[in-house]
Amino acid sequence: MADVLQSRFRNNLLRRLPERSLARLAPQLERIVLPRSYQLSSPHQPMDHAYFFESGIASVVVRSPEGQHTEIGIIGRDGMCPTAAILDTDVDPFSVFMQMQGEACRIAIPALKAVLEDDREAQGLFSRYTQALAVQHAYTALSNAVHHIDERLARWILMCHDRADGADISLTHEFLSIMLAVRRPSVTTALHVLEGKKLIYSERGVIIVRDRAGLEAFARDAYGECEKEYERLIGPLADESMSGSD
């Protein structure tokens, strides 16, 4: 059973911190609302705060010098950003913004670094998370290279479903085309394929997962490997003890 202090949080990393580590961080954590499209990080720009997500989903996006861009990862209550703070670097080359509105606990980066400097257990947990996120980025690159758009879309919906509350995922076709680096008509066609198989229902910017097991089967090996690595390094992606929590 989670400690009383840990049970105050929904973020998977904060809940897995030792009590003494969380007791040092908790007084410096500020709960904030993060609206959709809120920019958390810009390329090569230092950040003032680190964010531990309690709800919602953030996208990690990479952009080419010519302006082409694609999503390389997503973060929900399974993690935090920026991992640059954990690695003791000032900036990274990615953009991070909210694709689904939510809440986070933020902390000034100098305060976070001060805890990590002399807390080996906290440093170890956050370093393992950095590895898990790097694995997610790698499998996203692999999926973009070898999987059909239908399978990539199924994978992406599953990853969002893992981090969302309930079966509804609020996303537009235009946003999906940016995240999957394909033209909008390709997204529409792929959504129709998944709808035709009765795996999802899509209408007016909302995707509803109807058949989770069927969606996983359809995605095949596009989904599952980075989730296994997260569980190996951190623990289950979804904490069952949070079911029904506010």
What's the distance, Cα to Cα, between the start and end of the chain in Å?
A: 17
**Can you tell me the distance from the alpha carbon of 115 to that of 171, in angstroms, rounded to the nearest whole number?**
37
Name residue 203's beta-bridge partners: 206
The predicted pLDDT at position 167 comes to 78
pTM score over 0.75: yes
Q: What is the mean pLDDT of residues 62-74?
A: 86
Residue type for 174, please?
E
Are the C-beta atoms of 154 and 217 separated by less than 8 Å? no
**Can you tell me the distance from the alpha carbon of 176 to that of 170, in angstroms, rounded to the nearest whole number?**
11
Neighbours of 213 (CB within 10 A): 8
**Can you tell me the distance from the alpha carbon of 193 to that of 203, in angstroms, rounded to the nearest whole number?**
14
Q: Show the domains of the chain with their CATH numbers.
A: 6-143 (2.60.120.10), 147-225 (1.10.10.10)
The secondary structure of the chain in percent helix, strand, coil, rounded to multiples of 5, reads 50, 20, 30
Helical H runs in the chain?
A: 12-16, 19-25, 83-86, 109-117, 120-146, 149-163, 173-180, 184-196, 212-219, 225-233
Give per-residue pLDDT as tens, 133-175.
Answer: 999 999 999 998 999 999 999 999 999 999 998 878 887 777 7
The predicted pLDDT at position 5 comes to 83
- Helix (H, G, I), strand (E, B), or coil: what is residue 59? strand
What band does 1 get if pLDDT is binned at 50, 70 and 90? very low
Token couple for 52? 């531990």
What band does 242 get if pLDDT is binned at 50, 70 and 90? low
- The three-point CA angle 58-9-77 to 5° equals 20
- Look at 125 and 169; give whichever has higher pLDDT: 125
- Whether the CA torsion 151, 155, 161, 162 is positive or negative: it is positive
Q: What is the mean pLDDT of residues 81-87?
A: 90
